């Protein structure tokens, strides 16, 4: 932890907001993003942040050194020694992508790049719940993108209905100019309503683009 666990003496609530800290910029030489079905027991990276996602877990990673045995690292994340690995390496460009399959199911996928990884988080998480029977589907994972027949829905904005930012932007482009109109077209924003502010922001961004 960055700070000692101090509690407010009256309320018992964490009182961390006024604690002095010393921070330094971390110079990452490699960045990674991974999805996996099981939560990894150990993550041997200099920086990592793990979170639940549809179908399993997702991890953002950064490394101070790029000279790492990436297939080995991937296997340590996927906790699946029997899985079949499919990999792409471009050492000069610092790009490495590794996917592990157990039968038709994806056990995990790791994407490594010299800068922040440009892979759709929503799409990658979705792959954990998709069957990958053929080589073509498996190569798509290693390519790090959806096929032309499966457009990327973008980051999930409305979790009640699983609607992504790209779907909302497309609806706005097709003429939905209010939160209500987006709701009628996609259902997004019509349940708990916590995504309505974000939908409004996408509509606003669409207006700015249209005016330019």
In the complex, what is the shortest distance from the CB of residue 161 to ligand FES, in angstroms, rounded to a whole number? 6
When the beta carbons of 50 and 160 are compared against ligand FES, the nearer one is: 160
Residues contacting 98, CB < 8 A, separation 6+: 70, 71, 74, 85, 86, 87, 88, 109, 110, 142
In the complex, what is the shortest distance from the CB of residue 203 to ligand FES, in angstroms, rounded to a whole number? 14
In the complex, what is the shortest distance from the CB of residue 138 to ligand FES, in angstroms, rounded to a whole number? 32
Alpha helices in 80-189 (DSSP H): 121-126, 135-143, 165-173, 179-186
Q: How many residues does the chain have?
A: 212
When the beta carbons of 19 and 192 are compared against ligand FES, the nearer one is: 192
SS (H, E, C) 61-83: EEECCCCCCHHHHHHHHHCCCCC
When the beta carbons of 108 and 189 are compared against ligand FES, the nearer one is: 189
When the beta carbons of 113 and 179 are compared against ligand FES, the nearer one is: 179
- Give the separation between CA 17 and CA 176, rounded to whole angstroms: 42
In the complex, what is the shortest distance from the CB of residue 187 to ligand FES, in angstroms, rounded to a whole number? 8
* Residue numbers at the binding site for ligand FES (CB under 6 A): 158-160, 188-195
């Amino acid at each position: 932890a960055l700070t000692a666990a101090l509690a407010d003496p009256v309320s018992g609530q964490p009182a961390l907001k006024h604690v002095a800290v010393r921070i330094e910029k971390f110079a990452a030489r490699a960045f990674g993003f991974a999805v996996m079905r099981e939560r990894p027991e150990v993550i041997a990276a200099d920086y990592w942040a793990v979170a639940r996602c549809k179908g399993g877990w997702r991890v953002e990673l950064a490394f101070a050194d790029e000279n790492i045995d990436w297939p080995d690292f991937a296997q340590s994340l996927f906790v699946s020694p029997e899985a079949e690995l499919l990999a792409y390496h471009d050492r000069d460009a610092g790009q490495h992508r590794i996917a592990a399959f157990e039968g038709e199911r994806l056990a995990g996928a790791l994407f490594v790049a010299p800068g922040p990884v440009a892979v759709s988080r929503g799409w990658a998480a979705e792959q954990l719940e998709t069957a990958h029977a053929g080589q073509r589907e498996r190569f798509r994972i290693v390519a790090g993108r959806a096929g032309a027949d499966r457009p990327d829905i973008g980051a999930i904005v409305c979790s009640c209905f699983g609607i992504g930012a790209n779907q909302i932007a497309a609806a706005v482009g097709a003429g939905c100019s209010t939160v209500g109109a987006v709701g009628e077209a996609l259902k997004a924003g019509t349940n708990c309503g916590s995504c309505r502010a974000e939908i409004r922001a996408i509509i606003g961004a669409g207006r700015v683009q249209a005016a330019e």
